[in-house]
Amino acid sequence: AMEKSRPLWDNPLQFVFACISYAVGLGNVWRFPYLCQMYGGGGFLIPYFIMLIAEGMPLLYLELAVGQRMRQGSIGAWKIISPYLCGVGVASVIVSFFLSMYYNVINAWAFWYLFHSFQDPLPWATCPLNSNRTGYEEECEKTSSTPVSSREAKGAQGASPAPPVHWKQGCPAGEELIYYGQSCAFFTPRYFPSFLQVVYVTASLPYCVLIIYLIRGLTLHGAVNGLVYMFTPKLEQLSNPKTWISAATQIFFSLGLGFGSLIAFASYNEPSNNCERHAVIVSLINSTTSIFASIVTFSIYGFKATFNYESCINKVILLLMNAFDLEEGSLTADNLNEMKDYLMATHPQEYTQLLPQLKNCSLEAELDTAVQGTGLAFIVYSEAIKNMEVPQLYSVLYFVMLLMLGIGSMLGNTAAILTPLTDSRVIAAHFPKEVISGAVCFINCMIGLIFTMEAGNYWFDIFNDYAATLSLLLIVLVETIAVCYIYGIRRFEKDLHTMIGRKPNWYWKIMWAFASPLLIISLFIFYLTDYILTGTLQYQAWDATQGQLVTKDYPGYALAVIGLLVAASTMCIPLGALVTFVRKRLKRESVSTV
């Protein structure tokens, strides 16, 4: 029997845009540049592209093909392949649910910064005043870099051990409401694909902003320092297993495999759509964007480092000029070292007294301070922006871009949750689609409020580090094995032949059957041993007295939450198989007793 006609994309281009909008997310902007910095600059591109070929493309193709062939969301699709796999789809939905809970907070932060970008001067350009308005807040004065990092650690993510709702930062709570409202509106799933006209904007706008930033970034003073620093290959890092692990993990998470979003998107395709070509296009565009975003990030990073370095030198010059009554212009950045030696020789006593105040300025050290995650996205950029001319314009542009990246990925995520739910006969029989989307968004919003509390930033880190990592690896591993060995690679080949008009060549088959599963297994083993060997899980806490981050062990209840997050999704897979098995046994017995 023909199923109810399934809504379709307006054209293949819209589908590609949706996939790009989903795959190109915040990770491209803030995670990839950090990995380049950590693991050997330009040399990191070697393992990165090898991993793209060995697992990125094949697994993306696999998910798109499964969605397009089964024309179902993740739960239904894996059920068709084998009833024992019903847990895989459920696991995907749960992981997507966890992700959408905390992902919106990043969007809320972006909103917060966006709203505050229309001021002059920008509110994070200077330290806030202390309570009696005589000077600046001491905690802010203490932070090594600038007001932004303290404001960041406190303001938009005010993190302290106590958990009252923090409305200075709880402003996101209001914005999250707006935000969930939007995602519900997009997903009145009755008209799902046509509603996604939005993807044209969310996919293309970030590129416009990146191009503007590239032109601006490359003309900044000191940008070259950052680019040289990024692209100089440090090939000794290639012998470090962590480099390969990071490359594999980055490709894996950056393409958004295992969440069920790609399956959901592909299920709205025409059955004859060429998903092989689309898989290659999307994965290449995704990787190119990462490199493009790195160039932008590092030109800005170089500008910031050069700015800090030069202001450090100027402080030293000023100090020496005042201490030794030197005439204007006699001391410059170029002859600073010679003058230091000269002063040391002529006025040893006064010079020795000054020594504790003389900072050692080094450009290398400024460039070496690696920042990732929200730190890179919100701190480094905000700090660089406030030193540009017309900082408001660049600030607004930047946070609009972050919002677009965030919203695009959220659309995919919401699709991963709603498509399987609305496809399920049981649920769809009882509730209209609008009610389902409304309920999902509402529950998400309520739980999302946790992340706007005082300790919200720590919860955010827990979700970010543990909610998806191991579970996704396991989900995708089971998916690949299911297609190759349970469904059968021959049968899958025939399906692809009917859909695309040609069989997949040997490259895809070798990757699906051997390379990709082996890669995932080795990643999985690495993560497990890594967790076991480190013994305790640790996190970075903000210490207000020192004005810097310190490393602490997670308390017991946090470990319990981490355990629950990992178990909630991974346990679905064996449980689903077990439930199916028991059901079949019961059916058989009831048949035999009759």
Nearest CA to 555 out of 487, 444, 488, 455 is that of 455
Q: Residue 136: beta bridge partners?
A: 129
Nearest CA to 21 out of 197, 211, 280, 263 is that of 197
Distance of alpha carbon 180 from alpha carbon 449, whole angstroms? 12
- The 3-class secondary structure across 527-584, one letter per residue, is HHHHHHHHCCCEEEEEECCCCEEEEEECCHHHHHHHHHHHHHHHCHHHHHHHHHHHHH
- pLDDT value of residue 142: 62
Residue written as tokens 């989307």?
437
pLDDT, tens digit (0-9, with 9 covering 90-100), for 17-75: 999 999 998 888 888 888 888 887 888 999 999 999 999 999 999 999 999 999 988 99
3-state secondary structure of 242: helix
Mean pLDDT of the chain: 82
- pLDDT value of residue 237: 87
- pLDDT value of residue 477: 94
Asked whether residue 160 carries a pLDDT value surpassing 60, the answer given is: no
- With pLDDT > 90 as the criterion, what percentage of the chain qualifies? 28
Distance of alpha carbon 398 from alpha carbon 212, whole angstroms? 10
Distance of alpha carbon 424 from alpha carbon 417, whole angstroms? 12
Q: Is 34 exposed, middle or buried (0-12, 13-18, 19+ CB in 10 A)?
A: buried
Give the pLDDT band (50/70/90) at residue 2.
Answer: very low
Which segments are annotated as binding site?
23-24, 28, 254, 286, 405, 409
pLDDT, tens digit (0-9, with 9 covering 90-100), for 309-339: 888 888 888 888 888 887 877 888 788 888 8
Tokens representing 315 are 């402080």
Asked whether residue 151 carries a pLDDT value surpassing 50, the answer given is: no
Which segments are annotated as binding site for Na(+)?
23-24, 28, 254, 286, 405, 409
Distance of alpha carbon 447 from alpha carbon 99, whole angstroms? 12
Asked whether residue 180 carries a pLDDT value surpassing 60, the answer given is: no
Give the pLDDT band (50/70/90) at residue 190.
Answer: low
Q: Where are the domains of the chain?
A: 15-157+171-319+364-593
Distance of alpha carbon 420 from alpha carbon 307, whole angstroms? 51
Residue 296 CB-half CA count within 13 A: 26
Give the pLDDT band (50/70/90) at residue 514.
Answer: very high
Nearest CA to 288 out of 516, 52, 515, 61 is that of 52
Tokens representing 159 are 């993190």
Distance of alpha carbon 406 from alpha carbon 415, whole angstroms? 14
Largest CA distance in the chain: 109
- Which of 110-114, 288-292, 546-550 shows the lowest per-residue confidence on average (mean pLDDT)? 546-550
- With pLDDT > 70 as the criterion, what percentage of the chain qualifies? 87
Superfamily in which the 15-157+171-319+364-593 domain is placed by CATH: Amino acid/polyamine transporter I (1.20.1740.10)
Asked whether residue 169 carries a pLDDT value surpassing 50, the answer given is: no
